[in-house]
């Protein structure tokens, strides 16, 4: 004799997820169309043009969904390729745009900039709250790579605390202020990937790969 009580679990109905979908997919679109055909007024049936139009919408919806999936797969594949390419930067020497320096023990990182022609140069230094703490007229300088070392003394003649500062190197052309991009450089120690962005680590500092302006083997 079969024990019906013990075997009820064999005939149990699986729990279904009845939570409504937030977006209509092609299956939902098709169900709506079939329901519309089922309950249409026999005296006023859907004409051929309307039916063809709705079928075209179904076809377009399916094509768009397929295209979206293919596009996502392509983007994912492309990102993986970019990661491999970015990793090739490790060990190479790069030059990046930079406008930050660290003041440590009263000595700052070098402010590095490049001049394409002789010009008069100025430098301004700001604290973390964007307050101007130092400014200097460096005079007319010849073209080429230049450096400036700040001694950490502010406008008021007082030594400023250690920390990170920002700077602007600039000149004036036709009475208008024109910035001269600051630079940093060194060997790439590592490459990082964050939120689909690529960064290189140089001298303990992290820079976006968009800031790289020169790459060399030495």
Structure tokens at 198: 């690529």
Check residue 92 and give its pLDDT: 87
Q: Answer yes or no: pTM beyond 0.85.
A: no
pLDDT, one tens digit per residue, over 51-105 is 556 556 666 666 666 666 666 666 566 666 677 677 788 888 888 888 889 899 8
> What residues of the chain score a pLDDT lower than 70?
1-30, 32-34, 36-81, 84, 218
Full 3-state SS string of the chain: CCCCCCCHHHHCCCCCCCCCCCCCCHHHHHHHHHHHHHCCCHHHCCCHHHHHHHHHHHHHHHHHHHHHHHHHHHHHHHHHHHHHHHHCCCCCEEEEECCEEEEECCEECEEEEEECCCEEEEEEEECCCCCEEEEEEEEEECCEEEEEECCCECCCCCECCCEEEEEEEEEEECCEEEEECEEEEEEEEEEEEECCEEEEEECCEEEEHHHEEEEECC
Question: Is CATH 1.20.1530.20 the classification given to domain 93-216?
Answer: no
Which part of the chain has CATH 2.60.40.4070? 93-216
Check residue 121 and give its pLDDT: 94
Check residue 78 and give its pLDDT: 61
Check residue 7 and give its pLDDT: 45
Check residue 10 and give its pLDDT: 39
pLDDT, one tens digit per residue, over 137-146 is 999 999 998 9
Check residue 124 and give its pLDDT: 95
């Amino acid at each position: 004799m079969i024990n019906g009580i013990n075997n009820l679990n064999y005939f149990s109905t699986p729990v279904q997820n009845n939570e409504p979908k937030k977006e209509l997919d092609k299956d939902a679109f098709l169900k709506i169309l079939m329901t519309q055909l089922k309950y249409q007024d026999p005296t006023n049936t859907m004409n051929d043009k309307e039916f063809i139009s709705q079928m075209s919408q179904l076809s377009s919806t399916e094509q768009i969904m397929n295209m979206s999936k293919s596009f996502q797969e392509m983007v994912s594949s492309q990102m993986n390729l970019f990661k491999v390419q970015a990793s090739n930067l490790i060990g190479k020497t790069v030059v990046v745009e930079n406008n930050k320096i660290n003041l440590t023990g009263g000595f700052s990182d070098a402010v590095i900039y490049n001049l394409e022609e002789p010009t008069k140069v100025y430098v301004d230094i700001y604290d973390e709250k964007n307050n101007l703490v130092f400014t200097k007229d460096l005079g007319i300088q010849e073209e080429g790579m230049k450096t400036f070392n700040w001694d950490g003394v502010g406008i008021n003649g007082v030594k400023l605390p250690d920390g990170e500062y920002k700077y602007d190197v600039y000149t004036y052309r036709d009475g208008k202020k024109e910035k001269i991009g600051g630079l940093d450089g060194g060997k790439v120690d590592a490459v990082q990937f964050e939120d689909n962005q690529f960064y290189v680590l140089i001298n303990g500092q992290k820079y976006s790969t968009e800031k790289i302006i020169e790459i060399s083997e030495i």
